[in-house]
Amino acid sequence: MGLWRERFLPWLVDKGLSGDEHEALRAKAAAGLEGRVLEIGFGSGRNLAHLPEGVERVEAVEPASGGRRIAAERIAACPAEVRFAGESAEAVDLPDDSVDAALSTWTLCSVPDPARGLAEIRRVLKPGGRFHFLDHGLSPDPKVARWQRRLEPLQKLAFGGCRVQLPIDRLIVDAGFHVEQLETFYMKGPKFSCFMYSGVARID
């Protein structure tokens, strides 16, 4: 994976995706989760502090051992059991129909094949299971979208393949989910990387 992506990038992402605004969005994304939850892009475990009491177990998918090391104290402090279920969103180490819900925050943007990753989420969710998502993606503003196209190569290079012009809502619908809740907005910061999609999708 390389020293940058394995060691330094997890630390940078942990620090960069912290602060009051990020934590409030994490809490909102986690609201309503219960039972056995798959988390794609577990990272350094920052979402653990926001899990509702009804979450019994987290099936974590995370490729970087650096992220898992940073997460160790947060895992120890979490009342829910945490188990690692693979390193790739495109190959989750779980059987079909085995989790009650799924969670992904600032992750689909970095999955090499997001359609395949979403298909895996759909595969392991039980019928009626819900996918809680929070990610940045394509802005509806043509001026911002042009800057996203221009700057995405640098974004990918610096942040482990992260893309800023994915139409997150359309990808989720195309994967066979029904979007029940969706909010789009800009976070504070450069608009090219701060247009957010936040919501909940369901499988029938």
- Rounded to whole angstroms, the Cα distance separating 32 from 53 reads 10
Q: Which residue's structure tokens are 């994967």?
A: 175
Q: Is 8 helix (H, G, I), strand (E, B) or coil?
A: helix
Residue 200 to residues 12, 74, 141: CA-CA distances in angstroms?
A: 27, 25, 23
- The set of residues, in sequence order, having a beta carbon less than 8 Å from that of 35 and lying 6+ positions away, is 54, 55, 56, 57, 99, 100, 101
Q: Is 12 helix (H, G, I), strand (E, B) or coil?
A: helix
- pTM for this structure? 0.94
Q: Which residue's structure tokens are 């990808």?
A: 171
pLDDT digit string (tens) for 121-141?
A: 999 999 999 999 999 999 999
User: Is the pLDDT confidence value at 158 over 80?
Assistant: yes
- Rounded to whole angstroms, the Cα distance separating 125 from 98 reads 6
Which of 29-43, 120-134, 154-168, 172-186 shows the lowest mean pLDDT across its residues? 154-168
Average pLDDT of every residue of the chain:
94
pLDDT digit string (tens) for 75-128?
A: 999 999 999 999 999 999 999 999 999 999 999 999 999 999 999 999 999 999
In the chain, the domains with their CATH numbers are 3-202 (3.40.50.150)
**What is the rounded average pLDDT of the residues 38-65?**
95
DSSP code for 110: G
Q: Which residue's structure tokens are 């919501």?
A: 199
